[in-house]
C-alpha cells in the first residue's frame, strides 16, 4: 500500500536528514584535502587547479546550499522543540529572520 | 453526467493478517457521498463479507478511520469528490496496526501504548475534598485544553513514519495524552508521566516529521505536545544533575 506523506513539514525533515548525511560524508574528505597542505603541498595545488573548473564551482554552490539548508533546518528544529511559541509568534520570528537575511545579504553583496 | 462519471472505481483492501490484496469494485456515483457511504454500499450490494468498522457517521466517535489514497482519514467526514483521482479511489486499513480483516484493524496496541504513556487520569483529590479552583485562563490549563479534544481515532498513529520504523514507539496520540495530563493541575503525580514517556519508546524518538499534526482531523497538534514533553524531560534531567 502506498503512503501519502508529502507535506512541507515532512519535506523539511527529509531535506534536513539528506543534507546532514551529505555533509557527514563531505567533512572527512574536506579535512583530508586540508591536511594535504602539510603532507603533500604539490597534490593540494593540483587539487586547487582542478577546483577552479566551472563544474566544480557549481558543485561548491551545491555544498553551500546543503550547509545553509542544514543550518536553518537545525535552527528550525531547535526553535520548534525548545521555544513553546504560538503560531503567530513563529511566523513573526521567521519573517524577522527573512528580512534580516535579505538586508544583510544586500549589504554583503555591496561589500563584495 | 457522462457514463464515465456514473460509477467510481474503488480499490478496497481484502485479507486477514499480513496476507491480502486490493479488490476493485464499481460503485454508483452520487452527488453527495462520503468514503464511508462507498464502503457501506459495497457491503450492502456487492460483497456482504466486507469487514469494516464505524459507529456515529458524524465525526464524533473516531471508529471509521481508514487509509484513503494512502492518507489516514475519518471516512465518514471525507467526501468522495475531495479525494477522487481520475474516477478512482483506494481504501485500505489503518497503517501501523495489525489487520483483523479487510478494513478493520486491531486497536489494542494503540490503547496499550496510551496506558503505557501514563494516560490514565489519577485524581489529586477525593470526592470528600473541596473542588480545587482552576482558572481557565491559566497557561498550563490552556496547554492541557489544547489536547483534550482527541477522540483516539488513531489517524495520527497511522500517519507516523516513526511508529512504522519503531514498533516500540508510543506514538503521537499517547504522548499528546501524556502532555495533557502533565499540564492538568488535577492529576496526581505529574513527574510519573515524564518517567513513562522518556524511556526507550518515548517522546525522544519523535523526528518531528509532522504528519500527526498535518493529518489530525480535529486540528490538534500532537507534534508540539511531544516537543513539550521533550522540553520537560530535558529540564528534569538537567535539574537532577545539579
Question: Chain-wide mean pLDDT for chain B?
Answer: 94
Instruction: Categorize the per-residue pLDDT at B150 as very low, low, confident or very high, splitting at 50, 70 and 90.
Output: very high
Nearest CB to B211 within list A10, A12, A82? A10
Report whether pLDDT(B2) > 60: no
Q: From CA B68, how far away is CA B241, in angstroms rounded?
A: 48
What's the rounded mean pLDDT across residues B110-116?
Answer: 96
Domain layout of chain B by residue ranges: 7-105, 108-241
Cα A89 off chain centre by = 25
Determine the distance in angstroms separating the CA of A64 from the nearest CA of chain B, rounded to an integer.
24
> Is B108-241 in CATH node 1.10.1060.10?
yes
Number of domains in chain A: 1
ipTM of the complex: 0.82
Residue span of the structural domain in which A59 resides: 2-111
The reported pLDDT for the residue numbered B5 is 65
> What residues of A are in the B interface, CB distance below 8 Å?
1-5, 7, 9-10, 12-13, 77, 80-82, 84
Q: From CA B35, how far away is CA B85, in angstroms rounded?
A: 13
The reported pLDDT for the residue numbered B168 is 95
Report whether pLDDT(B98) > 90: yes
Instruction: Categorize the per-residue pLDDT at A91 as very low, low, confident or very high, splitting at 50, 70 and 90.
Output: confident
Check CB contact of B210 with chain A, cutoff 8 Å: yes
What's the rounded mean pLDDT across residues A2-15?
Answer: 90
Q: From CA A84, how far away is CA B145, in angstroms rounded?
A: 15
B108-241 shares the fold of B7-105: no
Alpha helices in B95-154 (DSSP H): 108-116, 139-147
Instruction: Categorize the per-residue pLDDT at B3 as very low, low, confident or very high, splitting at 50, 70 and 90.
Output: very low
The reported pLDDT for the residue numbered B1 is 45
Check CB contact of B13 with chain A, cutoff 8 Å: yes
> Is B7-105 in CATH node 3.10.20.30?
yes
Report whether pLDDT(A21) > 90: yes
Q: What is the CATH number of the domain that holds A88?
A: 1.20.1300.10
Least confident of A20-29, A43-52, A86-95, B116-125: A86-95
Amino acid at each position: 500500500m502506498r503512503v501519502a506523506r508529502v507535506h512541507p513539514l515532512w519535506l523539511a525533515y527529509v531535506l534536513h536528514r539528506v543534507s546532514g548525511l551529505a555533509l557527514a560524508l563531505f567533512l572527512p574528505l574536506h579535512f583530508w584535502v586540508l591536511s594535504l597542505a602539510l603532507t603533500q603541498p604539490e597534490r593540494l595545488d593540483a587539487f586547487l587547479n582542478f577546483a577552479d573548473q566551472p563544474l566544480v564551482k557549481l558543485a561548491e554552490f551545491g555544498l553551500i546550499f546543503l550547509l545553509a539548508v542544514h543550518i536553518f533546518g537545525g535552527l528550525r528544529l531547535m526553535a520548534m522543540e525548545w521555544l513553546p511559541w504560538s503560531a503567530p509568534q513563529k511566523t513573526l520570528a521567521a519573517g524577522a529572520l527573512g528580512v534580516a537575511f535579505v538586508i544583510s545579504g544586500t549589504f554583503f553583496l555591496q561589500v563584495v | 453526467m457522462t457514463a464515465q462519471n456514473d460509477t467510481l472505481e474503488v480499490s478496497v483492501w481484502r485479507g486477514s493478517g499480513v496476507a491480502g490484496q486490493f479488490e476493485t469494485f464499481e460503485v454508483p456515483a452520487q452527488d453527495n457521498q462520503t468514503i464511508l457511504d462507498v464502503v457501506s454500499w459495497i457491503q450492502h450490494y456487492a460483497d456482504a463479507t466486507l469487514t469494516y468498522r464505524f459507529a456515529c457517521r458524524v465525526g464524533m466517535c473516531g471508529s471509521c478511520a481508514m487509509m484513503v489514497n494512502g492518507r489516514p482519514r475519518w471516512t465518514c467526514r471525507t467526501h468522495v469528490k475531495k479525494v477522487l483521482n481520475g474516477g478512482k479511489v483506494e481504501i485500505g486499513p489503518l497503517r501501523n496496526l495489525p489487520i483483523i480483516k479487510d478494513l478493520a484493524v486491531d486497536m489494542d496496541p494503540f490503547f496499550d501504548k496510551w496506558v503505557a504513556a501514563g494516560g490514565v487520569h489519577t485524581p489529586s483529590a477525593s470526592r470528600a475534598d473541596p473542588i480545587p479552583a482552576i482558572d481557565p485562563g491559566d497557561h498550563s490549563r490552556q496547554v492541557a485544553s489544547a489536547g483534550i479534544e482527541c477522540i483516539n481515532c488513531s489517524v495520527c498513529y497511522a500517519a507516523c513514519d516513526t511508529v512504522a520504523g519503531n514498533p516500540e514507539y508510543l506514538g503521537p496520540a499517547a504522548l499528546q495524552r501524556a502532555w495533557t495530563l502533565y499540564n492538568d493541575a488535577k492529576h496526581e503525580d505529574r513527574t510519573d508521566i515524564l518517567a513513562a514517556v522518556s524511556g526507550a519508546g518515548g517522546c525522544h524518538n519523535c523526528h518531528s516529521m509532522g504528519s500527526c499534526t498535518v493529518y489530525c482531523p480535529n486540528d490538534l497538534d500532537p507534534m508540539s505536545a511531544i516537543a513539550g514533553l521533550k522540553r520537560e524531560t530535558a529540564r528534569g534531567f538537567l535539574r537532577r544533575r545539579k
